[in-house]
Amino acid sequence: GGGGGMLGPEVDIADFGAVPVSARNLLRLLQRREAVLLYPGGIREAFKEDGEQHCLFWPEDSADFMRLAARLDAIVVPVAHVGADDAVAHVASADDLLRIPGLGDRLREAADRAPVARPGDRFVSPLVVPARIPRFYYCFGRPIDAAVVDSRDEAATRAAYDAVRTELEDCITWLLEKRESDPYANLGRRITYEAAAGWRRQAPTFEL
């Protein structure tokens, strides 16, 4: 789910199927048996600072999405991704930018106008520049059947929430370890392999 706002004057994230993050929207989608891609970490997780690569920033005091999943007998599939955090290098933190006279005020004004999905979210990105073109890796974790969780039991929904997070963190750790043995992690080697194959075959990755 996204913020439901504009990425630019001509691009609306709703065009890509995104909806504002809210319990009501999640409930409606699950009631319609839609497949929902949810980012519990939200803006905080998207706008990571230097040194926070591959870290999750999920709310510690809320298990709402798991409670709704249990209420509607949904299946939760953790999906881990590694690569995007390595594609940029940090130049300045969000706090550094906010301290710059003039620029800081404009950033605060823009952040105040942005939709907020979660209290405390700050729509101010650190300043980054392209670093390299890493290979992206994905891992689908163990599905968790929310139908066996009592949505009225706070302890049970919290335990299920923690299980999803732990599974996701384990998948991220596994990907970080396995990519070290990928013979074609380097972009140049991938291009050479795929060009030699007439662009008809993708370079293989690590062994499962």
Which pLDDT belongs to residue 40?
84
Full pLDDT tens readout for the chain, 208 residues: 444 443 444 556 677 778 877 788 889 999 999 999 988 888 888 899 999 999 999 888 778 889 999 999 999 999 999 999 999 999 999 999 999 999 999 999 988 887 766 767 788 999 999 998 999 999 999 999 999 999 999 999 999 999 999 999 999 999 999 999 999 999 999 999 999 999 999 999 999 8
| Nearest Cα residue to 31 out of 94, 83, 74, 95 | 74
Could you say which DSSP state residue 63 is in?
Answer: -
Quote the CA–CA distance of 154 and 152 in Å, as a whole number: 6
Q: For residue 23, what pLDDT is reported? A: 82
Nearest-CA neighbor of 107 among 147, 47, 173, 17? Answer: 47
What pTM was estimated for this model as a whole?
Answer: 0.85
Nearest residue to 89 via CA among 42, 49, 54, 138: 49
Chain centre distance of CA 35: 16
Q: How far is CA 98 from CA 44, 51, 125, 176, in A?
A: 16, 19, 10, 33
Which residue reads 């990425």 in tokens? 7
Asked if 136 and 78 count as a contact pair (C-beta separation under 8 A), the reply is no
- Residue of 150, 128, 2, 154 whose CA lies nearest to 73: 150
SS3 129: strand
- In this structure, what token pair is assigned to residue 95? 């706090």
d(CA 79, CA 24): 23
